[in-house]
Amino acid sequence: MRIPLIVANWKMNKTVPEALSFAGEFLPEVKDITGRDILIAPPFTALLSMAGMLKGSNVLLSAQDVFYEEKGAYTGQISASMLKDAGCEFVIIGHSERRQHFGETDGTVNKKTKAALKAGLKVILCIGETLDERNAGRTFEVTGAQLKEGLKEIDLSGIVIAYEPVWAIGTGVTAAPEQAEEAHSRIREDLRTLYGRQADETRILYGGSVTPENVDILMAQPDMDGALVGGASLKAVSFVRIVKYKKTGG
Ligand code: PGA
């Protein structure tokens, strides 16, 4: 049974007071939701205060990145055990913005994932193709390689995959539901090749311009196990609606 997972990725947004004010508005609205996992990934600076606010609620805390070393002279970095200590249960690794702007590679994704799992965190591992790669017909070659390299020597339990086509992130262009489903089922197929039946228990999330308007039809696709939401997760009312998606045929 794959329990749907809806994630707010706030990226570099919200001060501590803003984060707490969001939580104050959001938590009462979602407190009765069962059968869905809900996750918020604020910036590092708001993790600890958010952990206090989310305690005892049905909303879990995630970080947006982690470094792979345990401790030492790595100015500016945050380790997996520090995230655990701050109250995180999950961490997002390999987001395309990190690959694009901060030199993240499948190799660093692999090291970070191993470090996070070792510290007892669960990992949302992001993969996805650029527009040029899609236009060149290389989508599944790219996602397949990202999976294989990113997950090298790693067991699938504790891993959630997020398929985020780069061309759909923050652009307002969402993958068509059939396009997203095609990618998800292909990713599950690749996971089956690598892991056998465990692939059927692994959640695959879609990310890229998910909104209250398109979440219902996206979530109606059979291989869609949740959403990773950026822009539309910044306002409580919008993220509440996304968390409360109802599957529709469209
Ligand atoms: P978006 O971002 O919803 O703003 O497109 C999604 C993501 O990058 O996780």
Expressed as residue numbers, the domain containing 22 is 5-243
117 within domain boundaries: yes
Q: Which atom of ligand 1 is nearest to the CA of 209?
A: 5
> Separation of 9 CA from ligand 1 center, angstroms?
7
> DSSP readout, 65-126?
--BSSSSSS-TT--BHHHHHHTT-SEEEE--HHHHHHS---HHHHHHHHHHHHHTT-EEEEE
How many domains, in total, are found in the chain?
A: 1
Instruction: Supply the pLDDT for residue 25.
Output: 98
149 within domain boundaries: yes
The model's pLDDT over 121-177, given as tens digits with 9 standing for 90+, comes to 999 999 999 999 999 999 999 999 999 999 999 999 999 999 999 999 989 888 899
CATH code for position 10 = 3.20.20.70
- Asked whether the beta carbons of 78 and 64 are under 8 A apart, the reply is no
178 within domain boundaries: yes
The model's pLDDT over 49-79, given as tens digits with 9 standing for 90+, comes to 999 999 999 999 999 999 999 999 999 999 9
Confidence of residue 248 (pLDDT cuts 50, 70, 90): confident
- The three-state secondary structure class of 39 is strand
Instruction: Supply the pLDDT for residue 250.
Output: 53
The model's pLDDT over 195-245, given as tens digits with 9 standing for 90+, comes to 999 999 999 999 999 999 999 999 999 999 999 999 999 999 999 999 999
Cα separation, 99 vs 142, in Å, equals 13
Known catalytic residues?
A: 95, 164
Pick the residue whose CA is nearest to atom 3 on ligand 1: 230
Q: Which atom of ligand 1 is nearest to the CA of 162?
A: 9
Instruction: Supply the pLDDT for residue 21.
Output: 98
Give the global pTM. Answer: 0.97
